[in-house]
Structure 1
Amino acid sequence: MHRLNATTPVIVGAGQLTQREGDPQQALAPMALAAEAARLALADSGAGTALTAQLDSLVVTRLFSDSTPRRAHGHGRADNPPGAVAAQLGATPRSRLYAEIGGNTPQKYLHLMAERIRRGEAAAVLLTGAECMATARAAVRAGLTLDWQRHDAGEFEDRGFGERLVTPHELAHGLGIPINTYPLFEQALRAARGLSVQDHLVRMGRLLASLNAVARHNPHAAWPSRLAADALVTPSAQNPWLGFPYTRLVNARDNVDQAAALVLTSAGLARELGIAAERQVFLHGACDLNDRMLMLDRVDYARSPAMARTGQAALAMAGLGLDDITWFDLYSCFASAVEIACESLGLAEDDPRGLTLTGGLPFFGGPGNNYSMHALVEAVTRLREAPETYALVTGNGGVLSKHTASVLSARPPHRPWQPPDSRRLQSEIDAEAAPPVTETPEGEARIETCTVMHGREGPQLGIVIARLLDSGARFVANTPAGDPAACQALMTDDAIGSRGRVSPQDGRNTFIPH
């Protein structure tokens, strides 16, 4: 390895674990699990104790239970998550940060901390996160209340919830909740491809089965059982529809106890600590961009302008093309996220290089906002084993809202660190024209996309995004309560583009298909 600039950022440690403790009272709490992943990452560097003493910055991924009331569990919480991790490690970082909401945040903060190292503002950074939703729910089922409360001294920066991702009006109609919202992208994509429901399900099943095949060989996967393509997408008593066209098995599953961590240092500090060149992995390309945050403000539900530009910019920064990449992990909370990522990158869904390193969120597990930390750990492992290769890892936060892409390799960078002009790229995305939105639509309308949410008894509620014929204004509406015929109409081959009538009442819009 040629001698690197002392402030070149380099990943020197990576660690992850999946907790499978059967007794909730014996299981580690979230911040204890995050600290354990951090210990693994520090030890992985080969300079564990010395590196721990050098840590100047610590970032903890935000817990799901601190992200949404729907994930609250009643077991208490660490009121200073970075302080809790630091205390358990015996570390004294001066910069401590608790990240905002988003599956993009592990990569976002990898990029931000790499930039701080490059500027000489940091030299050793720990990024860690964990989820213990499996233990939390197991305890509730057993009638137990766990003591996860921690009070740790020290100041830290809490980034809060971040950008507004949904309005009260959207939420009232079911938007913003991932299991309700990603099916809307899936339906729009199906229509854009001109496929019948059945033909699209077959294609989607093949894609998801390819992810499942990777999970089967990952010792950290929460659900490594073999699942055939048709079994994944065919509804049954054991695999019912949730949000059409998604069955239970193809949804991201957050009922996991998983943690992952990375340690990032300057090349100069890595040399001082004697960290072997074989442990080092470099960030070659990085980009973070956003689509319109609010669902009703999107330009097109079948594509993601930000996802396309993010991937392209990260590759351009690295001086690489798609053919130069050996390893991919495309964020896979739902099939539509992977499909739109493939279209954005120009990557075939059946590319022989594969689309995941972990097995994907439906099969590896969906540990809240921290999933892509696991993908990065897997990438580091592959790149150390094949040091001449490159990996591309993508992530998204919100509902296809916030996008991130990282290009990594064990090969040292061969060009100066020059991040893309994110402001210019973001302004291009923001300049794309979107239709006007109305919260009180009335009259004839044409469906842009739709889904049907199901319960134990079958179809329960249709969610429709449509445009008024007279003005072109976009709106969200629901089918009438207790109207299975209206729900069934939204599950046909030609539902997208069909017409109906919408009317507002008491803050809710009702759509009746023709």
Structure 2
Amino acid sequence: MAVDFSSLAPNTPIVVGAGQHVERDVGTTSHLAMATRAAAMAVSDCGGTGIVENIDTICAIRLFSDSAPNWQSDLGRSNNPPESIATAIGASPRHRIYSHAGGNEPQALLMEFFSDIAAGEREMVLLAGAEALRNQRKAQQQGLHLDWNEEFTAPLEDRGIGNIYPDPQEIANGMVMPLHYYTLIEQARRNDLGMSREAYLDETTKLMASFSEIASNNSYAQWPGAISAAQIRDAEPLTHLYTKRMIAQDSVNQGAALLLTSVAKARELGIPEDRWVFMHGAAQGTDVDVSVRPTPGTSVVAGNVLDKAMDMAGCKPADMDLIDIYSCFPCAVSEISDHLGLPADGSVPLTLTGGLPFFGGPGNNYSMHGIAEMVWQLRKAPEQRGLVHANGGFLTKHAAGIFSCVPSTIDWATVETRISPDATTSCERANNPETGVVISYCVNFYKGTPATAIVLAETDAGQRFVCCTAPTDTDTAQRVLAADPTGERVAVVPGEQEHNWHLRLVSNS
């Protein structure tokens, strides 16, 4: 299809380069060396000349090791991640940015930098990120003394962790990992659908198997081969709705990068038009905490973000030829596919990469891979359109973009992409609960056996609270698993610490 680029405004922002890197074997490559290799590919991918000298902004996606204690490294770190990348590729940017934490960041930053480029505030932006947790963990296990320290004096805009702050009551009652939050969401969705646990697991493992098949054909996937729904189902159980092979796998060595610029700059640097990819619609928004969402089995903001992006692009879900949905857990996929009216049974491809459980879950940077794949695939079919959805937190922070090689006339300098906070409502939290009705729950397994339970409940006054079984109370956890307590009344007593409430009774009357 012939495309006319002659009438494009010079300040129109475009993606001109994409890069990915994977190291399947364990080695000594650091996180930022991994990101650098992807960045170098993105520079080469654009096909222009004098690219590195013209990069005025480098933004690095925040590493997991700088995001949470569970991923901290004793191998050293860079005090300026974007400058580590700049030094390695020979760039001298005016702006160095280290992003917030969150899987939404690659798409959210793409929107931010499109706006800046359109407004003339930046000319060429390199976005890059990676995780070498596979190397990090092996080195720590083997006691290897790798030195990943880098020290720079160049200025850095470090944006910090961002606004992912679980409520103290959630933490005090065992919600310490994403696994626990997503199981509560998944269980609430299962209840909304009226499905048995067995039927629901059949559905979600079939969905995940379709992702595994796509990953098996992706040369940038961390692991070769595909696994079946039965193998996914039979893996080690983590909670009553998840096995180990259903969730994001972060022990990876993967990096990805994108190169952004304006039409004018692309022409100046000789970047061919067949490398240009446009964004036709985009939106982002933040939901409230899982435990106080009026409908914990879904995220209203996710739907609002999708609708806004679609409206901006003047299209509907059926117009999407390519889709990559964030897939840290099954409900992260089904939340989006449900809203789009797409089946979540594997019959419609919902990923370009193969997803976080099978392609790999490189921390906050996964969606950079999704966008890179989108760029490459759209270049092969310029008339097609594609949707990328990115998710941070616990179906909390959503960002979506609609892409095509067909030129876009959106004025990214003025368009509003944020969903108003007024679009969200929340339930009150009960600070001193005594009794309530079960809304959702999570049964945690240890070595194949139900060990603890976390319950989300609502008081008669409509206030929400989280409670959990006492550390040694495996009987209650087994009762919760055996007889779905949703809609049943529970009683709680104060636990050992502030905000901790022990589940003492599950009535099945």
**Which portions of structure 1, spanning 4 or more consecutive aligned residues, are displaced by more than 6 angstroms?**
none
1:388 is aligned to 2:379: no
Deviation at 1:164, TM superposition (A): 3.9
- In structure 2, do the counterparts of structure 1 residues 421 and 278 end up closer, same or farther at CA, with 3 Å as the change threshold? closer
Residue 417 of structure 2 corresponds to residue 427 of structure 1: no
Q: Which residue matches 2:355? A: 360
Q: Which amino acid aligns with 1:71?
A: W
1:57 corresponds to? 57
Match of 1:347 among 329, 342, 350: 342
Q: Counterpart in 2 of 1:330?
A: 325
* Aligned CA distance change for structure 1 residues 249 and 17 (closer, same or farther; 3 Å): same
* Coordinate RMSD, CA, aligned: 1.6
- Please say if 1:461 is aligned against 2:452: yes
**Structure 1 match to 2:476:** 486
TM-score (normalised: structure 1): 0.94
Q: For 1:45-444, list aligned pairs within 5 A.
A: 45-47=46-48, 50-234=50-234, 239-292=235-288, 294-350=289-345, 352-414=347-409, 416-417=411-412, 421-422=416-417, 425-430=419-424, 432=425, 434-443=426-435
Tell me, yes or no, if structure 1 residue 8 matches structure 2 residue 17: no
Counterpart of 1:446 in structure 2 is 437
Quote the Cα distance in structure 1 between the aligned partners of 2:408 and 2:276.
Answer: 12
Q: Which amino acid aligns with 1:429?
A: A
Give, in angstroms, the shift of residue 300 of structure 1: 1.3
Could you say what secondary structure the match of 1:117 adopts? helix
Give SS of 1:242's match. strand
Q: Give the distance between the partners of 2:11 and 2:467, measured in 1 at CA.
A: 53
Q: Which amino acid aligns with 2:423?
A: I
More displaced, 183-192 or 470-479? 470-479
Q: Which runs of 5+ in 2 are unaligned?
A: none
Give a deviation string over 1:415-466, Cα, whole Å, max 9, x none. Answer: 554876455x323423x3x3211232113x2111111112226222111111
Number of aligned residue pairs = 500
Deviations 1:47-98 (A, max 9, x none): 25x0111001111000000000010121110011111111111111111100
Which residue type is aligned with residue 360 of structure 1?
A: G
* Distance change >3 Å, CA 352–CA 488, structure 1 → 2: same
Displacement of 1:501 in angstroms is: 1.2
- TM-score (ref. length: structure 2): 0.95
CA distance in 2, matches of 1:493, 1:376: 43
Distance (whole Å) between structure 1 residues aligned to residue 482 and residue 278 of structure 2: 48
Deviation at 1:299, TM superposition (A): 2.2
Partner SS for 1:147: coil
Structure 2: how far apart are the matches of 1:224 and 1:246?
22
Greater mean deviation of Cα atoms: 206-215 or 475-484: 475-484
CA contact (8 A) 1:310 1:403 kept: yes
1:2 partner amino acid: F
- Counterpart position of 1:42: 43
Return the letter of the residue paired with 1:130. A
Partner of 1:497: 487
Which residue identity does 1:271 align to in structure 2? Answer: R
Displacement after TM superposition at 1:225 (Å):
2.5
In structure 2, what residue type is equivalent to 1:275? I
Distance between the aligned counterparts of 1:353 and 1:496, measured in 2? Answer: 32
Distance in 1 between residues matched to 2:201 and 2:331, nearest whole Å: 12
CA distance in 2, matches of 1:100, 1:427: 19
Amino acid at match of 1:278: D
Structure 1 window deviating more from structure 2 (331-340 vs 297-306): it is: 297-306
Say which SS state the counterpart of residue 490 (structure 1) adopts.
helix
**CA-CA distance at 1:199 after TM superposition:** 0.7
Partners in 2 of 1:277 and 1:476 — Cα distance? 54
SS in 2 for 1:261: strand
Q: CA deviation at 1:176?
A: 5.0
Distance 2:427 2:47 in 1: 55
Give the deviation of 1:303 after TM superposition. Answer: 1.1
1:340 to 1:427, Cα distance in 2 relative to 1, 3 A: same
CA distance in 1, matches of 2:329, 2:448: 24
* Contact 1:287-1:420 at 8 Å conserved across structures: no
CA distance in 2, matches of 1:103, 1:191: 27
Residue type at the aligned position of 2:384: T
Equivalent position SS for 1:300: coil
